[in-house]
Amino acid sequence: MEQIGLAAPGGELSLWALFMQAGFVVKLVMIGLLAASVWSWAVMIDKTLAFARLRRALNRFEDTFWSGQSLEELYRSLSDRKATGMGALFVAAMREWKKSFERGARSPVSLQNRIDRAMDVALAREVEELESRLGYLASVGSSAPFIGLFGTVVGIMTSFQAIAGSESTNLAVVAPGIAEALLATALGLVAAIPAVIGYNKLSADAARLASRMEAFADEFSAILSRQIDERANGGTRQQAAE
């Protein structure tokens, strides 16, 4: 087992000094936890901004969709660019609608099923994008305390080995080594606590956004279903008249 050099009695106990005095394994643990914490904050900030943008996009789309604009005009305006959120569901459904009628679809039931499947696939992609990288936060939140504890155990073991070698149990000799080891536990908690809070908050936000898009998919499916029935009834009446 690698041994660490303990700080001299009365030596400096700043965080940087404790890090520099720690053993190689403990240093690796500390660096890994710091990197995990920084990346966790980057993920949380990025997802928070992305959710805010998507929320504004959903509001704009709903305002436009329910403003009375024709579905064809809205489809043309959205199909020329990459749509997200409700726009992606709308484009997927309209694309299937247009393809089916261009190919002379005759069965209203099969057409409705294809439209629903197209929106389900688009919804699954949007939800997958919403939940991307949230698993990383969950992993950091659950594993960081144990990684920090591992660094603490290694640090305390090497500290006691060094103490045994010096044959001194003076508190001034023991304290720096124990402080170095406990710093690893503290860093584990620093990485884990924000990750857990961020994961819970972002997961709830993602679920709310997914619920809004799913509700729109159900509403739009009902709208298209009525139009399919109207076209089918119109074709039936035309054939009866002939």
Per-position b or e across 2-11, b if 16+ CB within 10 A of its CB:
eebebbeeee
Q: Residue 213 has which token pair?
A: 């898009």
Can you spell out the DSSP letters for 147-207? HHHHHHHHHHHHHHHHHHHHT---HHHHHHHHHHHHHHHHHHHHHHHHHHHHHHHHHHHHH
Answer with the residue of higher pLDDT: 97 or 232.
Answer: 97
Q: Give the tens place of pLDDT for each residue, 100-112.
A: 766 665 667 788 8
Among the listed residues 153, 142, 175, the one whose alpha carbon sits nearest the alpha carbon of residue 25: 153
DSSP-assigned states of every residue in 216-238: HHHHHHHHHHHHHHHHHHHHHHH
Determine the Cα–Cα distance for residues 44 and 89; give it in Å rounded to an integer. Answer: 26
pLDDT digits (tens, 9 = 90+) for 5-43: 444 444 456 777 777 777 788 889 889 999 999 999 999
| Domains in the chain, CATH or no CATH each | 25-241 (1.20.1270)
Q: How far apart are CA 83 and CA 61, in angstroms?
A: 10
> How far is it, in rounded angstroms, from Cα 222 to Cα 227?
9
> Band of the pLDDT at 90, cuts 50, 70, 90?
very high
Q: What is the pLDDT of residue 194?
A: 96
Give whole-number Cα distances, 181 to 4, 16, 24, 25, 142, in Å: 11, 13, 12, 11, 20
pTM of the model: 0.80
* Per-residue pLDDT at 223: 87
What band does 171 get if pLDDT is binned at 50, 70 and 90?
A: low
Q: What does the mean pLDDT of the chain come to? A: 83
Which are the contacts of 199, defined by CB distance < 8 A and separation ≥ 6?
Answer: 134, 137, 138, 141
